[in-house]
Structure 1
Amino acid sequence: MDEKPSPRKGPHLCSLRCGLAVVMHLSNFAMITQRVSLSIAVIAMVNGTQQPAAANASADGPRADALKDAGRARQELGAETSEYVWSPATQGVIFSSISYGIIVTLIPSGYLAGIFGAKQMLGAGLLISSLLTLLTPWAADLGVALLIVVRTVQGMAQGMAWTGQFTIWAKWAPPLERSKLTSIAGSGAAFGSFIILCVGGLISQALGWPFIFYIFGGIGCVCCLLWFTVIYDDPVRHPCISVREKDHIVSSLAQQPTSCRRSVPVKAMVRCLPLWAIFMGFFSHFWLCTIIITYLPTYIHSVLHVNIRESGVLSSLPFVAASTCTILGGQLADFLLSRKLLRLVTVRKLFSSLGLLLPSLCAVALPFVASSHTATIALLILIPGTSNLCDAGFIVNSLDIAPRYASFLMGVARGFGLVAGIISSTATGFLISQDSVSGWRNVFFLSAAINVCGLLFYLAFGRADIQDWAKDRSLAGL
């Protein structure tokens, strides 16, 4: 009766592919909270009585201020005694270790996910990250070196989980629903950032800082159980999917070439300008986003002069906007495609333009409205919110130009983004250490310039058609 499914305008709320997006949303929620949890707990963990040496006062001015703020924060949060004497430099190494771990596994895990199955790769990554989160208080007790190792391995596990997602969507997401489904899944990261900033301090105050790791590590373990029992690598093998939905997904993906051939055409990829356009988009996008995520509480405290409790609440507001814009952007993109109002490449470039240009304008305007609390908060909310419109642009573009290698390419693209994040964090610290006012202005101007350059490159070379090197050789007659 249902051999030829009728076309659909979008995923039904009760469809398995929509359920997959929700489960992946929860997984991303768990991973981002596990990643940020140490940034919240460290306020109660670290002994802030140790002051930097006078000789280092000029070089580490912002770090010294942050150390003093941490001391005040412990009093406001009602924390008991601090347990660890970690210098600001040591804390910086601990925080960055998870990013280095993610970089190590992004590319190989993306490739292996296409071979062994993304379900196992993503599930294993989430499980390892969750277990290591539960063990973080124990690792901190045993020493800084072990904690750095734990955080690095946790980053490697999260790198496995992030890249495995696009291999799944290459088999589950019909072309006209990709933006919508991936945006629902991706919004879990923004929502998780909001939740951890809101409740992390309260958990530390009420139960003690180790429970930040226990609670969010436990949530990750629950998500793992849900993941391994509900999710399958493709709709054909899912035992509970309806015939109608399975036929709809399979028929919509019928035009996309697949093959058992596993070799990666690296040379062709290196020469592919549309692929480099995606990489440049990721680099530009992550540059500004990392600054906002890392330095937002510091900026709010130093510019608006609010206490740590108010700073935490204000810092969480942008991530509400980010989560909302991610979902709405995906809905709008698929609406434009399903109604055939715009071509696919036009939609990708439109949302890439909005996601790179709008936050750049907001960032440039920030130094000029520093005297207004309302205007500053409004712009800070708009920056991550509008940035996440890129989720319907170049971020999902690898599924368009090379669905067979989407997971591998996503790993490479996120590698570019992480490199940008590491460089931007270092550059920001250097610039604001020279002079706070001019430093922040230079940080935002530089970020806007990089965003505009990335956008121009993407507009010039971005494409949305499957590239020749990504097609099945047998189908292409090669």
Structure 2
Amino acid sequence: MIYSGSESETDDNEHPLLHRKPLVKVEKAPVCCSSRYGLALLSCYGFFVAYALRVNLSVAMVDMLSNNDNATINSSSQICPAHGGSLPPLHNKTAKVYDWDSETQGWILGSFFYGYIFTQIPGGYLARKYGAKWFLGIGILGTAIFTLLTPLAADMGAGYLIALRVLEGIGEGVTFPAMHAMWSAWAPPLERSKLLTISYTGAQLGTVVSLPISGLICYHLDWTYVFYIFGAVGVCWFILWMLLVSNTPETHQRISVKEKEYITSSLKKELSSSSKHIPWKAILKSLPLWAIVVAHFSYNWTFYTLLTLLPTYMKNVLGFNIQQNGFLSALPYLGCWLLALMGGQLADYLRETLLIPTVKVRKCFSLIGMIGPAVFLVSAGYTGCNYVLAVSFLSISSALGGISASGFSINHLDIAPSYAGILLGITNTFATIPGMVGPVVARALTHSNTIEEWQTVFYISAAINVFGAVFFTIFGKGVVQDWAVPDLHSHGH
């Protein structure tokens, strides 16, 4: 198989398209009040909602469980005593609590991903064919509505709650592939890192806000309001999305002529004029795509394990109460959000101003964003009951992971912009498996919540992360592949 530019990628920054085709110089449209940055901010809000709806259960779960299952907490409290003093009684104790064992908790927390995995590839394909706006909008709206129904499902039983979380996953499964499909028509090549990191760091921001806010809601109201409040926020986003967003610059009613010309001209040699031909065989045989798959899978193993179980670790091992829990659980994702945003600016500066090849930027950012977290994650397991050091190492680990947002995470748009949504659907399908398996494996390994058990969990995550980083560094590419230009591919080139 031939990879365009695979032997000589030094000029992929000057010509981020097929390097044998020169790029016509187009005057850059202003950033301020632009439609493309407006889309980035509104999609950031959308991913804020998506992740708030996804992770709030992690905090609420701590308050949803009955106190009858205290054996685990008492044994772990002997290792790390309760920290920070006791809180006054909860303001509201009317919400029901449930007697779910550790295994049931793992299945509830992981069930979201059993629905999420099934709509990845269909979401990317249908968004490319029919437009991403409605698929992304309805996906998040559906998740918001199911979130509003969560207290009812929990009251009906763990099985009903698991089924509801699966439905939420089905709704959210289209979001990332649909957004990638939309950015393939909206993001000029040398602004991709900036625009996409603004957009997708809404996920970290949603985690940063929802974890402490969920803790406060549980304390001052009760856990049911966590789902009512965030569900309502999701419905509000959907209204704004439908009113303000268009699938392409050509169909946007408020975009300036200059910006429309800038976007369409910079992308005209990258995108296919036909939506019919999809080279499935070439896509599935593409080694650069599988490099992203492996990196995405590896990174998500650590990310999802911490995302779903960090509140439990904070309480049952480090001994933080529910109000402290939310704020401390959010710290790692605050750092991730900040470094992802700064990384996006730096990546495009390196590519556009210093003319560093895209492939080198993507690999460098992936290495730092995957090996760095592995080192600090393992280190966190050896901090014992040193609360400050443990939280610091976990925060640094997650923060460094944000750098990979400008690495493998957006590499789909570098190698195949016409099919970016489909490619993300493929990689995210594999990258969803850690969300399904990781929490279950982690809970199975931490029945007693000892520090030694959590060290094993951290070692497994770190090893997977390092493997993914090395694989992407060896096999990743940074230029549009031959098969990704349908007009050439269909004529046998």
| TM-score normalised by the chain length of structure 2 | 0.87
CA-CA distance at 1:466 after TM superposition: 1.3
**CA–CA separation in structure 1 for the residues paired with 2:336 and 2:311:** 16
Q: Deviations over 1:2-41 (max 9, x none)?
A: x985236xx6131111110110011111111112223333
Moved more, 126-135 or 352-361: 126-135
Coordinate RMSD, CA, aligned: 2.7
Report deviation, 1:231: 0.6
Correspondence 1:6 to 2:20: no
Partner of 2:235: 221
DSSP-derived class of the 1:28 partner: helix
Q: CA deviation at 1:75?
A: 7.2
Residues 251/431 of structure 1: CA separation in 2 closer, same or farther (3 Å cut): same
Q: How far did 1:224 drift?
A: 0.5
| Bigger shift: residues 386-395 or 309-318 | 309-318
Conserved? CA contact 1:106–1:159, under 8 Å: yes
Shift of 1:477: 3.7
- Do the aligned partners of 1:77 and 1:202 also contact (CA within 8 Å) in 2? no
1:34 is aligned to 53
- Pick from 42, 45, 48: which aligns with 1:23? 42
Q: 2:397 aligned to 362, 383, 388, which one?
A: 383
Q: How far apart are residue 92 of structure 1 and its match? A: 3.1
1:335-373 alpha-carbon deviations (Å, 9 max, x no partner): 111103311111111111111111111122223333533
d(CA) in 2 for partners of 1:338 and 1:430? 48
Q: Give the CA deviation at 1:128.
A: 1.1
Aligned structure 1 segments of 4 or more residues deviating by more than 4 angstroms = 61-66, 72-76
* Alpha-carbon contact 1:322-1:386 (below 8 Å) kept: yes
Larger relative helix fraction: 1
Deviation of 1:476 (Å):
6.7
In 1, the alpha carbon distance for the partners of 2:325 and 2:464 equals 28
Instruction: Please report how far the alpha carbon of residue 141 of structure 1 lies from its aligned counterpart in structure 2 after TM superposition.
Output: 3.7
Partner of 1:96: 110
Report deviation, 1:172.
Answer: 0.3
Alignment of 1:409-428 (within 5 A): 409-428=423-442
Shift in alpha-carbon separation, 1:203–1:120, aligned structure 2, 3 A:
same
3-state SS of paired residue (1:395):
helix
* Aligned equivalent of 1:441: 455
Residue 165 of structure 1 deviates from its aligned partner by 0.5
Higher mean C-alpha displacement, 32-41 vs 427-436: 427-436
Q: 1:465 — aligned with what?
A: 479
Which region of structure 1 is more displaced relative to structure 2, 210-219 or 422-431?
422-431
- Shift, 1:456, TM fit: 1.3
**1:332 aligned onto 2:351:** no
CA contact (8 A) 2:106 2:440 kept: no
The yes-or-no answer on 1:288 pairing with 2:302 is yes
Contact 1:44 1:79 (8 Å CA) reproduced: no
Choose the corresponding residue for 2:422, options 370, 387, 408. 408
User: Corresponding residue for 1:185?
Assistant: 199
- CA drift at 1:428: 2.1
1:143-202 superposed Cα distances (whole Å, 9 cap, x missing partner) = 444333222111100112232100010000001111111111111111111111111122
Return the letter of the residue paired with 1:149: A
Which amino acid in structure 2 is aligned with residue 324 of structure 1?
Answer: L
**Correspondence 1:272 to 2:286:** yes
Matches within 5 A, 1:155-170: 155-170=169-184
Q: 1:257, 1:471 within 8 Å by CA — same for their partners in 2? A: yes
Q: Deviations over 1:417-450 (max 9, x none)?
A: 1112333323322333377233222222222221
Aligned partners of 1:43 and 1:74 also within 8 Å: no
1: distance between equivalents of 2:213 and 2:109?
Answer: 20
Distance 1:144 1:194 in 2: 27
Offset at residue 235 of structure 1 (A) = 0.3
Q: For the residues of structure 2 that align with 1:26 and 1:63, how far apart are their CA atoms?
A: 40
Question: How many aligned positions are there?
Answer: 463
What's 2:67 paired with? 48
The answer to whether the aligner puts 1:345 opposite 2:359 as a matched pair is yes
Q: Please give the alpha-carbon distance, in whole angstroms, between the structure 1 residues aligned to 2:368 and 2:138.
A: 35
- Quote the Cα distance in structure 1 between the aligned partners of 2:74 and 2:259: 55
User: 2: distance between equivalents of 1:220 and 1:392?
Assistant: 27
1:137 aligns with 2:151: yes
User: Does the residue aligned with 2:446 lie in a helix, a strand or coil?
Assistant: helix
Q: Distance in 2 between matches of 1:373 and 1:40?
A: 19
- Of 191-200 and 428-437, deviating more is 428-437
Q: 1:85-122: per-residue Cα shift (whole Å, max 9, x none)?
A: 34224333332221111011111111111111100110
Compute the displacement of 1:473 (Å). 3.0
